[in-house]
């Protein structure tokens, strides 16, 4: 186990009707707020009206940044930064899923930073030293961005999708009412569920020794997602099912399950190149990449992937059949993705081989290797993308 410092100041407010108290929470920070809205359903289902009423009762003036798209864009972030400066806004509130949250966090950082906010993404040479406070009302459990120090953004001019890390952008509070996800389309629910699982796997596939406690916590969370994910599609308005996914998503990315270990995140970085070019939903891209990534890297640490197959998917194991065990684990992972009605091949998403080399090249921009536990070079990434066809 490696040394670590764990600090997460985010307040989690969980349960039915919690959104009715949002005005009281925001009032402790500012009287002028930018609301970053993740989709039209937020206004259509009455959620926006409830939030607006709560803010008004608390004496808060609010401005809207509407229609945040999946794989959030730099252009919308720049628009939000200008709105905050123009109206002297002191707080940014995201209502939605990961895209709205990452947009809000990027705006909060951009208002306070020097120069172009994009210069802080995908680099470890410029660092955020201050940000507006931000908060979240979560409608889609997926990325865990409501508790993380990370934001992901796409530069639509270059097609690059990159990450920003700073403790200054951890939301001050996150309201989690599982009822808010009832009206989500099944595809969004599926993509969100797969994203939760992917974050857990990124943390799980490590080269850090003696991390049995967090191994088993991660395994429990993965089994929970695998069990309740398909049930959420079958019973979309079941509070208890949705609550399990909300909790799993939240702990996935708040840092606790990463304490003392080094995760990988190579699959995420490869997927960013797919969605950067093809604008595929992040969860769908991860369902395609992760099996291919395991097929390519498992020989670097067979025991880790055997353990994954055994403990997460209950694959029987014999010492002389490690490769069989791992392949069975991959098969069961793919079966789960298909049960969630998501593709497991690029071709199933309408993506051919025309940009494989380009994506591999772009993944290496600004870095000497992709992935921390199992570092990859351009040719490795190209071969993984070929396996994903």
Reported as half-sphere exposure (CB side, CA atoms, 13 A), residue 200 has a value of 29
Write out pLDDT tens, residues 260-269.
999 999 999 9
In this prediction, residues 23-34 reach a mean pLDDT of: 96
Is a pLDDT exceeding 80 seen at residue 377? Answer: yes
pLDDT digits (tens, 9 = 90+) for 214-252: 999 999 999 999 999 999 999 999 999 999 999 999 999
Give the Cα separation of 128 and 18 in Å (integer). Answer: 31
What tens digit of pLDDT does each residue of 133-148 get?
999 999 999 989 999 9
Q: Which carries the bigger pLDDT value, residue 124 or residue 44?
A: 44
Q: Give the number of other CB atoms < 10 A from CB of residue 42.
A: 22
Measured CA angle at 113 (ends 109, 119), to 5 deg: 90
pLDDT at 124 over 80: no
Query: What CA–CA distances, in Å, run from 167 to 7, 13, 15, 71, 335?
Result: 9, 20, 26, 22, 37
> What pLDDT score was predicted for residue 125?
76
Q: Which domains does the chain have, with CATH numbers?
A: 11-180 (3.40.50.1970), 186-388 (1.20.1090.10)
Lowest-confidence segment of 32-41, 85-94, 336-345 by average pLDDT: 32-41
Around Cβ 30, how many Cβ atoms within 10 Å?
A: 18
- Residue with the bigger pLDDT between 289 and 157: it is 289
Looking at the predicted structure, is the pLDDT value of residue 45 above 90? no
For the stretch 158-197, pLDDT in tens is: 888 899 999 999 999 999 999 999 989 999 999 999 999 9
Q: Is 154 helix (H, G, I), strand (E, B) or coil?
A: strand
- Percent of all residues in the chain with a pLDDT value above 90, rounded to a whole number: 88
pLDDT at 42: 87
């Amino acid at each position: 186990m490696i040394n670590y410092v764990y600090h997460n100041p985010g307040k989690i407010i969980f349960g039915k009707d919690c959104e009715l108290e949002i005005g009281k929470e925001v009032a402790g920070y500012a009287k002028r707020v930018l609301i970053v809205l993740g989709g039209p359903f937020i206004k259509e289902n009455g959620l926006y009206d409830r939030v607006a009423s709560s803010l008004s009762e608390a004496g808060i003036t609010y401005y809207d940044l509407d229609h945040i798209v999946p794989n959030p864009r730099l252009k919308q972030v720049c628009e939000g930064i200008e709105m905050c400066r123009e109206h002297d806004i002191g707080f940014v509130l995201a209502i939605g899923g990961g895209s709205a949250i990452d947009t809000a966090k990027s705006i909060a950082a951009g208002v306070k930073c020097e120069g172009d906010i994009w210069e802080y993404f995908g680099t470890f040479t410029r660092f955020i030293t201050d940000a507006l406070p931000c908060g979240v009302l979560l409608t889609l459990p997926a990325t865990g961005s409501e508790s993380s120090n990370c934001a992901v953004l796409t530069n639509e001019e270059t097609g690059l999708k990159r990450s920003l890390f700073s403790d200054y952008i951890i939301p001050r509070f996150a309201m989690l009412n599982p009822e808010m996800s009832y009206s989500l389309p099944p595809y969004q629910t599926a993509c969100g569920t797969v994203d939760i699982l992917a974050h857990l796997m990124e943390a799980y596939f490590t080269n850090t020794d003696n991390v049995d406690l967090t191994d088993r916590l991660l395994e429990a969370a993965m089994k929970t997602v695998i069990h309740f994910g398909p049930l959420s599609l079958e019973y979309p308005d079941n509070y208890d099912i949705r609550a399990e996914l909300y909790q799993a998503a939240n702990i996935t990315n708040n840092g606790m399950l990463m304490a003392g270990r080094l995760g990988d995140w190579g699959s995420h970085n490869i997927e960013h190149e797919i969605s950067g070019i093809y604008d595929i939903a992040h969860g769908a891209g991860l369902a395609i990449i992760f099996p291919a990534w395991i097929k390519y890297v498992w020989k670097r640490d067979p025991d880790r992937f055997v353990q994954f197959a055994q403990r997460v998917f209950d694959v029987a194991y014999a010492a002389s059949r490690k490769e069989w065990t791992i392949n069975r684990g991959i098969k069961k992972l793919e079966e789960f993705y298909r049960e969630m009605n998501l593709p497991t091949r690029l071709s199933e998403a309408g993506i051919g081989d025309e940009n494989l080399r380009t994506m591999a090249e772009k993944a290496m921009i600004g870095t000497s290797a992709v992935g921390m536990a199992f570092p990859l070079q351009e040719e490795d990434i190209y071969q993984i993308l070929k396996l994903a066809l």
